[in-house]
Amino acid sequence: MTLRRLAGALGSAFVGLATLAAVGQIAHADVKLPRVFGSHMVLQRDIPLNVWGWDSPNQAVTVDIAGQHVSATANAQGEWKLKLAALKLGAPLTMTITGSSTVKFEDVAVGEVWLCSGQSNMEMGIGMALNAQAEIAAANYPEIRLLMVPNRFTAQPMNDFEYNPNGHEGVWKPCSPQSVAEGGWGGFSASAFYFARELQKELKVPVGLIDADWGGTDIQTWTPPVGFAQVPAIAERHERGQYSDSKSAQYQSRIAEVLKSYEDWLTKTKQAAADQKLGPALPAFPQELTPPTDVQQSTALFNGMINPLIPFGIRGAIWYQGESNLGEGKLYTERMKALIGGWRQVWGEGAFPFYYVQVAPYNYGPNAVETEPEFWAAQTDAMLIPNTGMVVTNDIGNPADIHPKNKQEVGRRLALWALAKTYGKSNVVHEGPTYKSFRADGNRMIISFVNVGGGLKSRDGQPLSNFEIIDAIEGGFVKATAQIEGTTVVLTAPDVKNPVAVRFAWHMLAEPNLSNAEGLPANSFRAGEVPKRDVLSLHVPEVKSYALVYDLDLSKLAHDIKYDVDNHQQVTKPFDRVAYCLELTGRDGVTQFVYTSMDAFSDDAAKIGIPTIASGGRFQLNVSHLNVYSNVQAIAAGQNLAGGNIEFWPDNYAQTNGAKVPNASNERFDFGDEPNDPRDGYGSMQVHNHDAKQTLFAINHWLAGGGADLGIGSQTHDEPDWTFAANASSFITKRLRVFVHYKQ
């Protein structure tokens, strides 16, 4: 936790009635403006500007600036608001506000104002970024003005932010080596500063930055209620949020119900006391009506840090956030729609520019290999929102550091978007190569790109990396050789004769080297249909004479198994054989399978599936006439094998080979284990070939869901039967099918 976060958390702990009282502004004996106004501020040029504040009720207030003399009268609550005509660039100005008293703001600039928000990569100060000492020493840019909003989360939208008495936050400051290094997590936002530095250099106008960010926060806490309401996929957030808004009809209706319940309780309790009896329990106060006690609750940071800025004139916003929402995949696109649409609606300036940074490659752990690419895709899809743009960072990250230090390039790339799209600089290349289409040409796949600038190239001079293709018939995704041909990249791989799908940089650690001549990297993508192959029809001829009993997507593993297909009640004829097929597709797209059939070990179809307590299946025995088919080389395939045994039970189990299974160990979990208490325990569903000293497949610990044990063949280390592997979530797809063969 940074010092800013700690201070914000302590300051935000006092919510509830005090927060509600702060929403309405108490009438003042002096004229007062919100702290977003101040000396050294930048006012947005070329748009009408809102100025607002408080004074005594019915007090006339006048604002004088650049020859304008505009007046308003405070209402009964002491609130006043007026609008200035658009200001043009000019010499430093003085703004004078006259009401019950007089306030003057000196050294006011007119230029470009940008809101800078997000989580820790936006919060990360210049002092924590690359070449910090030299950059701070050179940061003498008086035409760049800095405002750092103090961290604060609240239950209700606040009309002003707090002043930090140490002077580092809550006031406008010209950029200097001292001011850029003050406060925050290493000073002012590095990404924002380098963005402004590029703009100021190119536009030659003052640039104002409003830094409102908080490390580790998710996007929901920055989103206004109206944003949630705009997006059907997450509209329930808006509905829930209404219950924490004391002004909403939902809150008023619900609180009336609560008060009535307390009145009823009080009446009954008084009567019980009079009768010398115990009274009823006090009704609990509804959780949905309580103010937020956590920074991550929806709208909490919008209320405390963004609403106090509205409707101060801005040109647009830059955003650097996503790590805290990483596991949400496509839902993040909807969250971006809510954030951007919500901010635009409450600001009332139309579809102002919104440019954001893609999260960089980082090692989030073995179960998140494709989680980050899925998130990149969601961030990419957010560019379909009008007047948005995304900076790709897969070449300037650090997979070992979630806070990569090269914020100079992040800021520069954000500025390229603004210069090209907001300020109309037609000669600025602002985006790297972007996937357009693909086509197959025999064993070649040809990928077309747009945004190639001066041409496609390898940024490091090495062969192009991180392209993968998959064949229509066999195998998974394999590394492809890639050659640039004009605005296309041609892909081939020795084992792919009929390529049907491609993916690029589809790994959390991917740092691809395809770029345009201007050095902007290509974004990750995937295209084409990954073939859905039926391994049984391709490789197991005998299954044609078997009937399907169970089919289960193993991502649904749980204590109580609910099969996708459950035909066991339709098995009304005697059967003489039972068969199992387990398919596992890894993160590389390769599907492994094993099919094994055996003489029936039970005449009850309910007991041949996953052996839960409910199924009643509990077996440890040898099975006869084992047939095995598999594409895993280590598996001892064949027909009519003699060494089969099964270990099916819902119990815990121990390494002891109590059943005297040939070749089994007493010290390791293998193909000769022994069930023990509790009966409803870890759980084992394993088929073995003890003659070959191997596990054919294992499905263990199904009650752990994504932490279950799955495996084909023997594990090469630790426990060969996959006990304690906890690897189920590492597979993209996982499927179990169970069959029977009816007696002839």
pLDDT above 80 (res 15):
no
- Residue 743 gets the label, from left (phi > 0), alpha (psi -120 to 50) or beta, of beta
**pLDDT more than 90, % of the chain:** 80
pLDDT above 70 (res 244):
no
Residues 595-609: tens digit of each pLDDT: 999 999 999 999 999
pLDDT band at 27 (very low <50, low <70, confident <90, very high): very low
Region 462-481: mean pLDDT is 93
The total of other beta-carbon atoms located within 10 Å of residue 82's CB is: 18
Lowest mean pLDDT among 150-164, 376-390, 418-432, 692-706: 150-164
Rg value, the chain, Cα: 33
Between residues 185 and 457, which one has the greater pLDDT? 457
Task: Give the fold, CATH level 3, of 1-125+144-193+205-233+299-360.
Answer: Rossmann fold (3.40.50)
Region 630-641: mean pLDDT is 94
pLDDT above 80 (res 735):
yes
Q: Which two tokens stand for residue 508?
A: 């959390």
Give the position of tokens 């599907």: 591
Yes or no: say if 696 and 687 are a contact pair by the CB < 8 Å rule: yes
Q: How far apart are CA 390 and CA 234, in angstroms?
A: 23
Q: How far apart are CA 207 and CA 44, in angstroms?
A: 9
Residues 482-517: tens digit of each pLDDT: 999 999 999 999 999 999 999 999 999 999 999 999
Instruction: Using DSSP bridges, classify how beta strands 172-175 and 207-213 pair: parallel, antiparallel or unpaired.
Output: unpaired
| Distance separating the N- and C-terminal Cα atoms of the chain | 70
Yes or no: say if 737 and 567 are a contact pair by the CB < 8 Å rule: no
pLDDT band at 74 (very low <50, low <70, confident <90, very high): very high
The secondary structure element, H or E, covering residue 378 is: helix 371-381
Lowest mean pLDDT among 33-42, 207-216, 263-272, 462-471: 263-272
Residues 658-679: tens digit of each pLDDT: 899 999 999 999 999 999 999 9
**pLDDT more than 70, % of the chain:** 94
Region 583-591: mean pLDDT is 83
pLDDT band at 163 (very low <50, low <70, confident <90, very high): confident
Residue 70: exposure state from Cβ atoms within 10 A (0-12, 13-18, ≥19): middle
Angle (CA) 185-190-194 rounded to 5° is 165
Region 177-198: mean pLDDT is 95
Residues 513-552: tens digit of each pLDDT: 999 999 999 999 999 998 877 889 888 999 999 999 999 9
Yes or no: say if 184 and 214 are a contact pair by the CB < 8 Å rule: no
Domain limits of the chain? 1-125+144-193+205-233+299-360, 535-742
Region 645-651: mean pLDDT is 97
The beta strands (E) that lie in 278-373 are given as 316-320, 354-357
Residues 413-468: tens digit of each pLDDT: 999 999 999 999 999 999 999 999 999 999 999 999 999 999 999 999 999 999 99
Looking at every residue in the chain, the average pLDDT score rounds to 92
pLDDT above 50 (res 206):
yes
pLDDT band at 249 (very low <50, low <70, confident <90, very high): confident
Between residues 24 and 289, which one has the greater pLDDT? 289
* pLDDT at residue 165 in the model: 62
Region 228-233: mean pLDDT is 90
Region 210-216: mean pLDDT is 97
Residue of 40, 51, 318, 28 whose CA lies nearest to 167: 40
The total of other beta-carbon atoms located within 10 Å of residue 142's CB is: 14
pLDDT above 50 (res 16):
no
Instruction: Using DSSP bridges, classify how beta strands 709-712 and 694-700 pair: parallel, antiparallel or unpaired.
Output: antiparallel
Instruction: Using DSSP bridges, classify how beta strands 102-118 and 316-320 pair: parallel, antiparallel or unpaired.
Output: parallel
